[in-house]
Amino acid sequence: MKADIRIAWILARGSDRREWWRFSLTLLGALLATGFALAAATIAAVRGQVSIPYAHGLLDRPGERAGVVLTLVLLLVPVLGFLGQCARIGAVHRHRRMAGMRLAGASPAQVRRLAAVESAFACLAGSSAGFAAFAVLLAVAGHTPPPVAWAAFVAVVLAVPVVAAPVSVFALRHVVASPLDHVRRTGPDRGRRAALGVVLAAALIAVAGLLLLFPGGKGVTPFALLVLGLVLLTGAGAIWAAGAFAAFVGRRLTLHAKSPAVLIAASRLAHDPWAAARTHAALLLVTVVGVGFLGVRGVLLSALGANGYRPVDLAFYTTGIDLAGAAVLVALTISLCGLAVGTAESLATRRRGLAAQAAAGVPHRVLARAALLETALPLAPALLLAGAGGTVVYLAYATVVGGPVPLLPLVVPVAVYAACLLAAATSLPLLRRVAHPAELRFT
């Protein structure tokens, strides 16, 4: 193990700028994850009825606190998506390096340990930094959590790197098998994963339905399961739609494209349709949740207004709902960052090909348009489906509660689409640098 840490350290010292980007972004992701987990632990450690001067008394009662904790825990999902995207930075290069290590005689276990040590250290730095920031925040707020919370804090700070290590080992599983760096992207694999999501969602809905059928089972649990099932179902469906549409459009347009930009984007999509789905998974899930959430919020507020609540009580509800809304926005932001990182990474990985195209006289304009189209084409039907899924969720809620159906949520998919294009566009300056014939010299 000591030898592995030593080699990992020598490798890190010689790493190029891209590797340091990965380290930094991974650190940032670990910091976010630690922050959310620590906040959840702190709130979960509060016992009984208390008076907390934040968020209009939302944290006063155990019931609402459980909701807040759940929201914070759910925020870990987009953070994990972001971390997954970070792990892909320089993946091709890292694959090659690990294959080189294997060729020099490193055993599969050694390569796994190296990868684990590398990401565990980045994540430990992130989680420690997150803990430090959180401790400062607690000191400023003047809150001293009970000992049990401190134990949880230590567990969180250690758990983040411990979880990150096997994830990065999993990402390197192909190289571990072959020292020749024959990394083949297996298309059907991604499709199978989306199918797994569908099966899981169907199972959840079935369980919820069974619970609803039983007398006395009409509690919160089956409804929550139903919603979770629906969200998963539409999420998986949207991811599948993105992949399938990318494959279909890629094939069709490769044959019939009239403009060079469309041709380049289409053949890229046809080559690896599930790459897009991979990048967009978290984003599509957030869209489903976002549309559903905005709809539920509208229905709930108008129902509360109709029931004649006092403004003070209403403030309690709106604060709770807006807090959840903020969580959705945070999730969306993190997912968009993931998309931006993914697009930039895709350009950086293909820089030799891009430089060759530029050298062969393909105008920069065409390459930029192709890069945007590559994001825009598969995302359109996926977002449409995600929007539809979210709409079903809040329509179901509206029929249960009654009252007018808000139309505002329908804007969400459009807004997300625009935001995605903007996020993808942030990588265009990188394209200008990467797609330069001089790059051919260095790669």
Partner 1 sequence: MNTPTEQPLSGAGVLISARGLRKSYGRTEALRGASLDLHEGEILAVTGTSGSGKSTLLHCLSGIVRPDEGAVTYGGEELGLLPEQRLSELRRRDFGVVFQFGQLIPELTALDNVALPLLLAGARRGHAHRTAGEWLERFGVRGQADLRPGGMSGGQSQRVALARALVTGPRAVFADEPTGALDTLAGEQVMTALVHTAREAGTAVLLITHDAQIAAYADREVGLRDGVVHSGPAAVLGQEAARREG
Q: How far is the CB of 104 from partner 1 (least distance, A)?
A: 5
Quick one: 142 or 188, whose CB is closer to partner 1? 188
DSSP run (H or E) holding 393: helix 364-401
Closest by Cα among 193, 162, 8 to 94: 8
Is 390:290 a contact under the CB 8 Å cutoff? yes
Rounded to 5 degrees, what are φ and ψ at 143?
Answer: -100, 130
Residues binding partner 1: what is the number (CB under 8 A)?
29
Q: Does 352 bind partner 1 (CB under 8 A)?
A: no
Pick the binder of partner 1 from 24, 52, 55, 110 (CB under 8 A). Answer: 110
CA dist., res. 376 & res. 62, Å (int): 44
Distant-in-sequence contacts of 154-160, Cβ < 8 A, 24+ apart: 156/34, 156/37, 156/38, 156/41, 156/127, 156/131, 157/34, 157/124, 157/127, 157/128, 157/130, 157/131, 158/127, 159/37, 160/30, 160/33, 160/34, 160/37, 160/123, 160/124, 160/126, 160/127, 160/130
Pick the binder of partner 1 from 43, 80, 83, 106 (CB under 8 A). Answer: 106
Q: How far is the CB of 85 from partner 1 (least distance, A)?
A: 22
In a 3-state reduction of DSSP, which class is residue 50? coil
Quick one: 9 or 54, whose CB is closer to partner 1? 9
Q: Does 406 bind partner 1 (CB under 8 A)?
A: no
Find the binding residues for partner 1 in span 310-339 (CB under 8 A).
Answer: none
Q: Does 14 bind partner 1 (CB under 8 A)?
A: yes
Q: Does 10 bind partner 1 (CB under 8 A)?
A: yes
Find the binding residues for partner 1 in span 174-203 (CB under 8 A).
Answer: 177-180
Quick one: 6 or 143, whose CB is closer to partner 1? 6
Q: Does 241 bind partner 1 (CB under 8 A)?
A: no
Q: How far is the CB of 105 from partner 1 (least distance, A)?
A: 3
Quick one: 178 or 267, whose CB is closer to partner 1? 178
Question: Where does this chain touch partner 1 (CB under 8 A) — which range of 93-101, 156-164, 220-228, 252-260?
Answer: 93-101
Q: How far is the CB of 120 from partner 1 (least distance, A)?
A: 18
Region of residue 183 (left: phi > 0; alpha: psi -120 to 50; beta: else): beta
Residue type, 4: D
Closest by Cα among 66, 87, 64, 84 to 76: 84
From residue 14, give the alpha-carbon distance in Å to each of 11, 17, 165: 5, 10, 21
Pick the binder of partner 1 from 101, 164, 296, 382 (CB under 8 A). Answer: 101
In a 3-state reduction of DSSP, which class is residue 110? helix
Query: At which residue do the structure tokens 């987009």 appear?
Result: 78
Quick one: 1 or 407, whose CB is closer to partner 1? 1
Quick one: 109 or 422, whose CB is closer to partner 1? 109
Find the binding residues for partner 1 in span 120-179 (CB under 8 A).
Answer: 177-179
Q: Which residues bind partner 1 (CB under 8 A)?
A: 3, 6-7, 10-16, 19, 96-97, 100-110, 177-180, 442
